[in-house]
């Protein structure tokens, strides 16, 4: 049913990714679909990495560790943006199409006041892409 699964990752919050990654791994095993972790980083230094190359390496390490934990191969791809806050949703949607994903599995957070005014990233993707989005809370 699914041929490729994309998992957007925020390396600042990997502690909140366990359930979404486990869901993607389970679906990957069931459908024999490869998993690709994708993250968007800034060109400027951040709390996660000093530069995009270091960020890409950390994403690769995280993907490899999660793949080993769940017994599947997980690829990774870092996208660099001058302003990830503004570009995140569009970059993720474009990347899903570029890699041929037909399912996006992403973690969400418990909605708060801000979500009554602004859409969440998961909500935006679910509303603005033709790819199935599985939001894991």
Residue-wise pLDDT for 90-99, tens only, equals 999 999 999 9
Burial class (CB in 10 A: 0-12, 13-18, 19+), 60: middle
pLDDT for 86 equals: 87
The pLDDT value recorded for residue 76 is: 98
User: How many helices (H) and strands (E) in the chain?
Assistant: 5, 5
Dump pLDDT digits (tens) for 106-128: 988 645 544 433 446 666 676 66
Ramachandran class of 122: left when φ > 0, alpha when ψ lies in -120 to 50, beta otherwise: alpha
Token pair recorded at residue 70: 């769940």
- Which domains does the chain possess? 5-113+124-136 (3.40.50.620)
Query: Token pair of 60, please?
Result: 């690769």
Condensed to tens digits (0 to 9), the pLDDT of residues 21-80 reads 999 999 999 999 999 999 999 999 999 999 999 999 999 999 999 999 999 999 999 999
């Amino acid at each position: 049913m699914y041929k490729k699964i994309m998992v957007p990752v925020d390396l600042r919050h990997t502690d909140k990714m366990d359930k979404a990654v486990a869901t993607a791994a389970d679906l990957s095993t069931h459908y024999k679909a490869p998993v690709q972790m994708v993250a968007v980083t800034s060109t400027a230094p951040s709390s996660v990495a000093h530069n995009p190359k270091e960020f890409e390496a950390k994403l690769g390490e995280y993907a490899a560790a999660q793949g080993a934990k769940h017994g599947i191969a997980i690829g990774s791809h870092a996208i660099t943006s001058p302003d990830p806050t503004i570009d995140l949703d569009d970059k993720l949607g474009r990347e899903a199409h570029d890699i041929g994903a037909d399912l996006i599995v992403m973690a969400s957070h418990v909605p708060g006041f801000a979500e009554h005014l602004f859409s969440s990233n998961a909500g935006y993707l679910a509303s603005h892409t033709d790819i199935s989005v599985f939001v894991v809370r």
